């Protein structure tokens, strides 16, 4: 059965609502927080669905080269504030470099993601983007969409930080993160992605390896929060450091908890 959080778009993977969870004193509003992969292959029907969301803010976590390679499609009348960052210029995305330089195996994929999540919270471009995102949530102008390329790692980390701010139970936050393994249609896309990787890499990776690369694991998110705690002392101190201070977090809760 399809999870009701997942929006059944045709050309956009992993599009879903990450609100709606119970928190102390209420529930996170539904229809206000959305996450997704890139929208370069959105169909006209997809764009109509997105138009109906009445997005006020769209946060594009991708690097400039990623945005150039897969430019976002927009519906007619699109007027959302777009938050993006050009820090890093046109540097190659880490996952692209990994595929080019390393044999893709389940073990190498896991090692790559554990290392990536350890570093991701403190990447300068993420510090800027995350801070601007939380400022937008505090402003309470309307629904927000966050996305990267696959909608699973950068997006998953930012959604999990949002759940921390809102007081979502750790079990619910983790389940939401792991929903990528369903919403990204990993099994359905496996043959196509495997073939594409074989063509670009010159050798065919195993289905197990590709599955590991396309999906997420709870240990990755644990690595990110362990890094945050180790380097900042606490999630709250980390958020303070990117401008999402106590007053900002309280404003976010006031807007999003119903």
Backbone angles phi, psi at 257, to 5 degrees: -100, 125
* Predicted confidence (pLDDT) per residue in 34-64, tens digit: 999 999 999 999 999 999 999 999 999 999 9
| Residues assigned a catalytic role | 148
Domains defined for the chain, CATH in brackets: 16-253 (3.90.190.10)
What DSSP element (H or E) covers 140? none
Is-contact 81 57, C-beta < 8 A? Answer: yes
Q: What is the pLDDT of residue 58?
A: 99
> Which residue reads 């990528």 in tokens?
180
**Which run of H or of E encompasses 147?**
strand 144-147
Question: What pLDDT, on a 0 to 100 scale, did the predictor assign at position 249?
Answer: 99
Q: How confident is the model at residue 90 (pLDDT cuts 50, 70, 90)?
A: low
- Averaged pLDDT score across all residues of the chain: 95
pLDDT for residue 100 is more than 90: no
Per-residue pLDDT tens for 176-230?
999 999 998 988 899 999 999 898 888 899 999 999 999 999 999 999 999 999 9
Tokens coding 151 = 């909608």
Least confident of 80-94, 116-130, 236-250: 80-94
Predicted confidence at residue 135, as pLDDT, reads 99
The tokens of 100 are what? 């080019």
Torsion of CA 83, 87, 90, 93, to 10 degrees: -80
Section 118-124 average pLDDT: 98
Calculate the alpha carbon distances from 130 to 84, 86, 121 in Å. 10, 14, 9
Q: For residues 67 and 83, give the distance between their C-alpha atoms in angstroms, rounded to a whole number.
A: 13
3-class secondary-structure state, position 72: coil
Report pLDDT for 184.
85
- Given a cut of 70, whether residue 89 has pLDDT beyond it is no
Of the pLDDT bands very low, low, confident and very high (cuts 50, 70, 90), residue 2 is confident
DSSP 122: G
What is the pLDDT averaged over residues 146-164? Answer: 98
Model pLDDT, residue 19: 98
**Percentage of the chain lying above the pLDDT 90 cut:** 86
Q: What is the pLDDT of residue 186?
A: 87
CB-based contacts of 6: which residues, under 8 Å, 6+ apart? 15, 16, 179, 182, 183
Q: The tokens of 79 are what?
A: 């007027």
- Judge contact between 214 and 193, C-beta under 8 A: yes
Query: Is pLDDT above 90 for 93?
Result: no
Contact assessment for residue 176 and residue 18, using Cβ atoms and an 8 Å cutoff: yes
pLDDT of residue 246: 98
């Amino acid at each position: 059965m399809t999870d009701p959080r997942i929006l059944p778009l045709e050309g956009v993977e992993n599009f879903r609502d990450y609100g709606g969870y119970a928190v102390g004193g209420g529930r996170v509003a539904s229809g206000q927080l959305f996450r997704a992969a890139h929208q370069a292959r959105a169909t006209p029907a997809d764009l109509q669905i997105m138009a109906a969301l009445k997005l006020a803010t769209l946060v594009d976590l991708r690097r400039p080269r990623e945005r150039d390679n897969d430019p976002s499609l927009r519906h007619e009348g699109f007027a959302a504030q777009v938050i993006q960052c050009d820090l890093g210029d046109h540097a190659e995305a880490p996952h692209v470099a990994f595929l080019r330089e390393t044999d893709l195996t389940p073990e190498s994929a896991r090692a790559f993601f554990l290392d990536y999540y350890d570093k991701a919270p403190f990447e300068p471009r993420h510090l800027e983007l995350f801070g601007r995102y939380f400022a937008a949530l505090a402003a309470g102008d309307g629904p927000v969409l966050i996305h990267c390329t696959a909608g699973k790692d950068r997006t998953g980390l930012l959604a999990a930080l949002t759940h921390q701010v809102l007081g979502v139970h750790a079990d619910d936050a983790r389940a939401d993160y792991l929903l990528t393994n369903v919403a990204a249609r990993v099994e359905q896309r496996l043959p196509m992605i495997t073939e594409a990787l074989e063509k670009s890499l010159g050798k065919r990776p195993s289905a197990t390896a590709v599955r590991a690369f396309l999906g997420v694991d709870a240990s990755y998110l644990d690595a990110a929060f362990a890094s945050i705690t180790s380097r900042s002392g606490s999630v709250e101190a980390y958020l303070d450091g990117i401008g999402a201070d106590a007053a900002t977090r309280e404003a976010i809760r006031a807007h999003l908890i119903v």
